[in-house]
Amino acid sequence: MDRIGDARFVLLGEATHGTSEYYLWRIRLSQRLIKEKGFSLIAVEGDWPDCYRINRYIKGYGNAGQDARSVLSTFERWPTWMWANWEVAAFVEWLKRYNAPLANSQKVGFYGLDVYSLWESLSEITHYLEQNAPEALQTAYRAFACFQPYEEDVQAYARATQLVPSSCEEEVIHLLRETQRKTQQLHDDGDAEAAFNAEQNARVAVGAERYYRAMIRGDAESWNIRDRHMVETLERLVDHYGENTKVIVWEHNTHIGDARATPMVEEGMVNVGQLVREHHPAKDVVLLGFGAYRGSVIAGRSWGAPMERMSVPDARPKSWEAILHETLGHNSLLVFSEAQEADEWLTKIHGHRAIGVVYNNFSGWDGSFVPTALSRRYDAFVYLEDTQALHPLHIEAGQQAPETYPWGV
């Protein structure tokens, strides 16, 4: 908290997408930032339409859901466990209670930064136009019709744009322009949040079309499209909330840790942490990474595979996690300063574990270790000795919430 000081952008990482402790410590720190330092919103590595449902629920909008579990149960895009879990459910209920006595302008928001939700965002725009500007529906119908042959299969769309020199780019750009034109009136009439939501869904459609078209090439461009979209969304949220807004970001270490301290920079890749540092004064940005020596994790063995609870073995020798285990041997917080930047121990390059939503923990393989200069990649780092898997919300009938459910509420 002392290191954060008056910073306006606090980016909180995670070394996996399925570890309970990473979520719980982000929750605890986020609660303190909201209560003690006046942070206004949380932006996460999630889809805009899904996360906007959380935003509506915690702000007490009409027909927003009965409880956090019912809201999170609508998260159906794989990997569902990233946000539909008991840890997030507890935090969402805390946010709703925190917001309850506040004026609308003071309520904390919750938003998704990601670019994946092409069809969901198109559906949201169509619903918005049906309610507010039916005369513009043909624009949405044309965009839907362009994508319809691919039956919501992004791989099929990406392959088709490689084989035939045509795409749906023109349709989604036209839809964005039409949505912007129609939302301006709604904004002027006083419903700025609904107008912002509609325009952002149109921007997601444009970004998703670009991302999926670039994805098939397998180069750095698709990654850069995605991370630039997330930063642009973050900046629009700040503009929407107003001057001096303070923002908490939850994303994987690979997004929030400065790419320039890893080989990503040599491959022409940028990421959210780097871009936020470049766009804002150093005093306004704090990047916090996480890592652990061993534990368990929720992940799938391939993209779209059933989620599993998997063991995470001891970290690879000479990795940052192994060095911290040998040097410290207990849960620790490292806070870096400019004086420490010159410390050879902190600026050396060592592997740093990164597990995504896909993980194969067969013998002899323990995930990707990204070469990292720790004190240049982050402003602070949380090291944990042992961790436990996240607790997914989509559990079998009759199972009870884990003991961690009330943690921090």
Q: Which amino acid is at 312?
A: V
Taking the C-alpha atoms of residue 16 and residue 82, their distance in angstroms, rounded to an integer, is 10
More confident: 218 or 110: 110
**pLDDT value of residue 186:** 62
**pLDDT value of residue 357:** 94
Taking the C-alpha atoms of residue 120 and residue 46, their distance in angstroms, rounded to an integer, is 13
For residue 190, CA distances in Å to 186, 187, 394 come to 7, 5, 38
Closest to 240 measured CA to CA, from 179, 283, 183: 183
pLDDT-derived band at 157 (thresholds 50, 70, 90) equals confident
pLDDT in tens, 266-313: 999 999 999 999 999 999 999 999 999 999 999 999 988 999 999 999
pTM above threshold 0.75: yes
pLDDT in tens, 359-373: 987 644 556 899 999
What is the mean predicted confidence (pLDDT) over 15-34? 97
Phi-psi region of 345 (alpha: psi -120 to 50; beta: other; left: phi over 0): alpha
**Backbone phi, then psi, for 278, in 5-degree steps?**
-70, -30
Taking the C-alpha atoms of residue 323 and residue 314, their distance in angstroms, rounded to an integer, is 12
User: For residues 391, 392, 398 and 399, what is the CA-based torsion angle, rounded to 10 degrees?
Assistant: -10
Taking the C-alpha atoms of residue 394 and residue 403, their distance in angstroms, rounded to an integer, is 16
**pLDDT value of residue 404:** 46
Answer yes or no: are the C-beta atoms of 316 and 351 closer than 8 Å: yes
Please give the mean pLDDT across all residues of the chain.
Answer: 89
Answer yes or no: are the C-beta atoms of 81 and 299 closer than 8 Å: no
Closest to 28 measured CA to CA, from 293, 329, 281, 333: 333
Residue 96, both tokens: 């709703």
Residue ranges covered by each domain of the chain: 9-113+246-386, 118-217
What is the mean predicted confidence (pLDDT) over 382-407? 71
pLDDT-derived band at 181 (thresholds 50, 70, 90) equals confident
Taking the C-alpha atoms of residue 321 and residue 387, their distance in angstroms, rounded to an integer, is 13
Q: 9-113+246-386 has which CATH code?
A: 3.40.1660.10
Least confident range from 3-7, 23-27, 160-164, 324-328: namely 160-164
More confident: 379 or 366: 379
Residue 392, both tokens: 């997914």
Taking the C-alpha atoms of residue 68 and residue 81, their distance in angstroms, rounded to an integer, is 14
Taking the C-alpha atoms of residue 81 and residue 17, their distance in angstroms, rounded to an integer, is 8
More confident: 365 or 217: 217
Residue 62, both tokens: 């009409």
Taking the C-alpha atoms of residue 81 and residue 76, their distance in angstroms, rounded to an integer, is 9
Helix and strand numbers, DSSP H then E, in the chain: 15, 10
Q: Would the pLDDT of 141 be above 50? A: yes
**Please, is 405 exposed, middle or buried when counting C-beta atoms within 10 Å of its C-beta (0-12, 13-18, 19+)?**
middle
**pLDDT value of residue 219:** 77
